[in-house]
Chains A and B, each alone.
Chain A
């Protein structure tokens, strides 16, 4: 609890009797400021005196509180949570354009970081414009003042995508253009750079109005330049935009001429098909969802069935790999593979420190173990203290039942 700080001079000035040459102070006026009632012992004593007797008698059993007016500060009334005000930028002095990946029409966290970097470059008077290929949601809260949705390219056609983005950027006349340094974003940035004939500053780790910084020569040196036209931003280097939502006003660029086919020989890409990763064979370091077995399991056949039913990648602890029960390339941990999975499901693993190092990058952990005090139970988002040997058949039964209901 904190009390308001007293200001003795102001208190003294407030009790000064006005209109006299010699300063006089009215000390009967109660001090304000501390918020606590001041005790008046004389008045309390007088209140305890038994009335009607010549000899003063005091009834000490009763305590009369001197009734003081407690000065309470007006509590700032917590307003009901109103939707935050949308910031509107009418006439930006210049524009900083962002071309996000936006897989599936939603901004990835890397895209948000690029928007945060663009906001840092734009400063107070500049505006952030986002160029999306196809519709994209949630660009205003991520920090975009303007939004320019371009027509999505059907199929895999990087050349016409580049032509479209380059034409829009030329028409927009943005001062800076930022791309994410991801597989798709980095590719598009370099294509746009050679098309526009502009240098591109790749993999910037620091983005500020006074300079961009990137590592070079195997992270031995860092290079700093003044912000140029094109740059790509490294992942997890710049913070996302954290301010109030922005307007994301729709822009239309009239200069966008539909380029029918800039290539001389049109159909150079015959076909393009997406092959999703096969969880059973994907390397453990790339896997999205890993189900892992530890020394608490004896029935590895059921474990393999569970892995197949969950469409996951199998992993194992060091003990099982040392015993030859699981192949060595499935080992998770410091001496095995360090995972980058979204979810890790540990069956019968107590969580040695070396094993937890391998799991450190996983966002979600689910653990089944008999020991309530195991480190893995502490680490897990959903921890179940139960024998994994009995949970596995229950899982299989439930999955089978669900498949039967929907068949």
Chain B
């Protein structure tokens, strides 16, 4: 089974130092459990992804693509030559535009099946079972046939520990350079330092007074003011009240429904 993990040159969200994005490290762990995996990076410098060698990869292929050029044609050409059974990528980049469009563009270019937000992969070369995150711990178990491109969700298992010796032994191979791509006319993007926007206050009345907005922000306008207080009730009475309240919220199924 041939597995390729797409690697990108990320930046740490806090320090800005070059790191391998966490989701790609998680993808390496998923790939390492399935078999031998190869890393693929398109960018000006392969040193940015050397960290991946310590996290479970033994070999990385590097395509030299100048900074600011679209890496999709180069990646698509290389992937078409490699013909892998499974391609893993992070769901978003880290430190760049963070739009997450590259896996979709690759899947369109190669006519691959794309399964997003995967947390676990099992199975063999002909049929793979992918667990897709639906949020809040719920999953969709998708069985697929043929080559598939999957993006990894942050809820996947934590990355393997970094091993210095493995990082020393791993190899990075330059497999080619992208042809001088024609300059794509990019949309005019104006960049400024990030400014945090005021947080949207849930439950604040539109056009309400400042006092009402403050109440909504501090939680006094929510459940706390409408809260019920029962002092020293009978335990049976308290239990009835609790169950009725939980059912009203909707976290507990109705007694009649749960029995069915």
Which chain B residue has the least Cβ–Cβ distance from A217?
Answer: B95
Interface pair A223/B104, CB less than 8 Å apart:
no
Best-buried of A109, A364, A377 by chain B (most CB within 10 Å): A364
Chain A positions within 8 Å of B104 at CB level: 190-191, 193-194
Give Cα A386 to B144, complex, Å.
54
A289-B251, A342-B251 known; A221+B193 contact, CB < 8 A: yes
Interface pair B246/A343, CB less than 8 Å apart:
yes
The A contact surface, by secondary structure, is mixed
Interface pair B193/A271, CB less than 8 Å apart:
no
Chain B positions within 8 Å of A238 at CB level: 200
Interface size in chain A (residues, C-beta < 8 A) = 92
Q: How far apart are B205's CB and chain A's nearest CB, in angstroms?
A: 9
Chain B positions within 8 Å of A300 at CB level: none
Interface pair A217/B11, CB less than 8 Å apart:
yes
- Say which residue of A187, A199, A242, A288 sits within 8 Å of B206 (CB atoms): A242
A288-B136, A395-B242 known; A384+B230 contact, CB < 8 A: yes
Interface pair B113/A268, CB less than 8 Å apart:
yes
Best-buried of B16, B111, B144, B199 by chain A (most CB within 10 Å): B144
Interface pair B223/A381, CB less than 8 Å apart:
yes
A216-B96, A272-B140, A273-B141 known; A384+B241 contact, CB < 8 A: yes
A275-B141, A277-B136, A345-B246 known; A395+B194 contact, CB < 8 A: no
- Say which residue of B105, B140, B188, B223 sits within 8 Å of A275 (CB atoms): B140
Interface pair A366/B140, CB less than 8 Å apart:
no
Interface pair A380/B251, CB less than 8 Å apart:
no
Give Cα A194 to B100, complex, Å.
12
B interface footprint on A194-206 (CB within 8 Å = 1, 0 otherwise):
1100011011011
Chain B positions within 8 Å of A190 at CB level: 100-101, 104
Q: Which of chain A's residues 375-391 have a Cβ closer than 8 Å to chain B?
A: 377-386, 390-391
Which chain B residue has the least Cβ–Cβ distance from A200?
Answer: B101
Give Cα A222 to B104, complex, Å.
23
A368 at the B interface (CB under 8 A): yes
Best-buried of B238, B240, B245 by chain A (most CB within 10 Å): B238
Interface pair A277/B138, CB less than 8 Å apart:
yes
A336 at the B interface (CB under 8 A): no
Interface pair A268/B144, CB less than 8 Å apart:
yes
Give Cα A202 to B91, complex, Å.
13
- Say which residue of B133, B134, B189, B255 sits within 8 Å of A405 (CB atoms): B255
Interface pair A269/B111, CB less than 8 Å apart:
no
Interface pair A183/B135, CB less than 8 Å apart:
yes
Chain B positions within 8 Å of A278 at CB level: 137
Give Cα A268 to B130, complex, Å.
13
Interface pair B190/A223, CB less than 8 Å apart:
yes
A225-B189, A398-B236 known; A269+B242 contact, CB < 8 A: no
Interface pair B255/A406, CB less than 8 Å apart:
yes
Chain A positions within 8 Å of B169 at CB level: none
Q: Which of chain B's residues 81-138 have a Cβ closer than 8 Å to chain A?
A: 94-101, 104-105, 107-108, 111, 113-114, 116-117, 127, 131, 133-138
Give Cα A220 to B95, complex, Å.
9
Interface pair A385/B229, CB less than 8 Å apart:
yes
A60 at the B interface (CB under 8 A): no
Chain B positions within 8 Å of A265 at CB level: 146
Chain B positions within 8 Å of A168 at CB level: none
Give Cα A368 to B187, complex, Å.
57
B249 at the A interface (CB under 8 A): yes
B210 at the A interface (CB under 8 A): no
A interface footprint on B220-251 (CB within 8 Å = 1, 0 otherwise):
00111011111111011011111101100111
A143 at the B interface (CB under 8 A): no
Chain A positions within 8 Å of B236 at CB level: 394, 397-398
Which chain A residue has the least Cβ–Cβ distance from B199?
Answer: A236
B180 at the A interface (CB under 8 A): no
Chain B positions within 8 Å of A216 at CB level: 96-98, 191
Interface pair B194/A219, CB less than 8 Å apart:
yes
Give Cα A219 to B14, complex, Å.
9
- Say which residue of A158, A372, A382 sits within 8 Å of B231 (CB atoms): A372
Chain A positions within 8 Å of B227 at CB level: 380-383
30 intermolecular pairs with C-beta atoms under 8 Å apart = A113-B200, A187-B117, A191-B104, A194-B108, A195-B108, A200-B99, A206-B197, A218-B12, A221-B194, A223-B190, A224-B190, A236-B199, A236-B200, A238-B200, A239-B206, A268-B113, A270-B127, A270-B145, A272-B143, A343-B246, A368-B242, A381-B227, A381-B245, A382-B245, A384-B230, A394-B236, A397-B236, A398-B236, A398-B243, A405-B255
List 15 other contacts, CB 8 Å, given A109-B202, A397-B236, A402-B255: A202-B98, A224-B190, A268-B113, A268-B144, A272-B142, A276-B138, A283-B155, A286-B135, A286-B155, A382-B227, A382-B242, A391-B238, A393-B235, A405-B255, A406-B258
**B contact set with A: CB distance below 8 Å:** 11-14, 16, 94-101, 104-105, 107-108, 111, 113-114, 116-117, 127, 131, 133-146, 148, 155, 187-195, 197, 199-200, 202, 206-207, 219, 222-224, 226-233, 235-236, 238-243, 245-246, 249-253, 255-256, 258-260
The 8 lowest CB-CB distance pairs between A and B, nearest first, are A277-B137, A406-B259, A381-B223, A242-B206, A282-B137, A394-B235, A394-B239, A402-B255
